[in-house]
Amino acid sequence: MNLYLTIASRYLTGKKTTNAINIITWISIIGMAIGTAALILILSVFNGFEGLLSGMLSSFNPDVKITLNEGKYMSRDRVQEARIKGIKGIAQVSFVIEETCFFDYKGSQEVGIIKGVDSNYMQVTGLDSSIILGAAKFGEDTEYGLLGSQMNTKLSINPADGFTTITAYMPSDEDKGPLAKPFNSMNFYPSGTFSVGGDIDPQYIIVNYEAVNHLLNLENHFTAIELKLTPEAREKSVIKELQSALGSDFKISNRYQQDEGFIKIMNIEKWISYLIACLTLLIIAFNLVGSLWMIVLEKKKDIAILKSMGLTKKGIQMIFLMLGLLISFIGMMAGYLLGIFLYWLQKEHGLVSIPDGFLVDAYPIELKMSDFIVVTLTVMVIGLLASLLPSFRAGQVSAFVRQE
């Protein structure tokens, strides 16, 4: 193997009779470098967005969420709350109730989700870190609501107006007579705005737990139980104990499972973009095919001599495979240097900005070691494929110089 690599490196760095071969070789290296940098940066940008949005959603979603497998509401009296709190690893427990609702504010009307939360909710989630205006005021004598940023915009909330309430409407199932309104309503003041991204901001308004129960003509009912775990808790063990305590009527989801749909979509977009970049790199690799083919034509005499000295056909092919991999490796390492440099510029100086109105000013970016492994395998496989045809041609060169 050392012999093949030595000869291949001499063919790469040695003087060529035709200057065009050197130019095409350098074009191949530069193309591989640009392709490698593109691959690593594409993965890094998607990592950045995934980390940003997952981090923001984590301030809204709890560590563990318990929901009903069937049905919508359940009374808290049917749940052994003390047993749940007694499971080792559970730090806080919060009961919440959600329902689709119709909102009205000064003539601006929107359909969204009203979420009633109890006094433990802010300890279970990290939503307080995502409040961008005002404050959360749950459980006070006056009813207040915390709005998602886009819901706040859609309702055209005026933060300077402290006297106008938002009205939430919900259809009523009760028969109140022919003159009664067929819906329940409640009024609350907007106390603040939060932003966590995803589908949360355009839909949610968070209010007091008892107020939503009253709006739905219920008493002490919930749609989900949200849990915060202690830092040393073993998630799988806690979920197993919860399932045993609650039975099969309940579905228990960890943080990943709560965002599973979002993460899957992000991964699909990530790998489709990666495959498109791989296709571009494959096209760039045609320069490598041309470069190796011209080197084979130039080195026919050398190949014939090597064969006459006893080097086998497979040995000749191995030399040119090593040459192709060597060019790919040099291009890949140059691409890594370029990619890391551009990553540093984006991370430190926001080289590529995002239009106003988004959560951040510049594209988020994050490097992972697994991405380097994937890109290395991709580039070297493409380099190997590009080297196959020229190496096969090199193996066909005759051992007789005069015949060649």
Strands 204-208 and 108-117: parallel
Mean pLDDT, 10 residues at a time, over the chain (404 residues)? 76 71 84 92 88 72 89 85 88 93 94 93 87 85 90 91 91 63 87 86 93 91 93 90 87 83 81 90 86 83 80 84 90 94 89 70 86 93 90 77 50
Secondary structure class of 373 (helix, strand, coil): helix
Per domain, the residue ranges of the chain are 2-57+262-395, 64-258
pLDDT at position 393 is 85
Phi and psi at residue 194, in whole multiples of 5°? -120, 160
Question: Using N-to-C axis directions, what is the helix angle for 369-395 and 313-349, rounded to 10°?
Answer: 150
Strands 131-134 and 90-105: unpaired
Phi and psi at residue 265, in whole multiples of 5°? -65, -45
pLDDT at position 400 is 62
Give just the sign of the alpha carbon dihedral 353, 357, 360, 364: negative
The closest of 205, 222, 227 to 61, measured between CA atoms, is 227
Q: What is the DSSP letter of 334?
A: H
pLDDT at position 191 is 92
Q: What is the DSSP letter of 344?
A: H
Give alpha helix (H) positions in 173-299.
209-215, 235-246, 255-258, 260-284, 286-298
Q: Which helix (H) or strand (E) holds 158?
A: none
Task: Please give the radius of gyration of the chain, using alpha carbons only, rounded to the nearest integer.
Answer: 32
pLDDT in tens, 154-186: 999 998 888 899 999 998 766 555 555 678 899
Q: Which helix (H) or strand (E) holds 204?
A: strand 204-208
The 3-class SS string of 73-129 reads CEEHHHCCHHHHHHCCCEEEEEEEEEEEEEEEECCEEEEEEEEEECCCHHHHCCHHH
Burial of 126 (0-12, 13-18, 19+ CB in 10 A): middle
pLDDT at position 17 is 66
pLDDT at position 69 is 87
CA distances from 246 to 19, 240, 243, 250, 388 (A): 77, 10, 5, 7, 61
CA atoms within 13 A on the CB side of 352: 8
pLDDT at position 175 is 56
pLDDT in tens, 11-37: 777 766 667 777 888 888 898 999 999
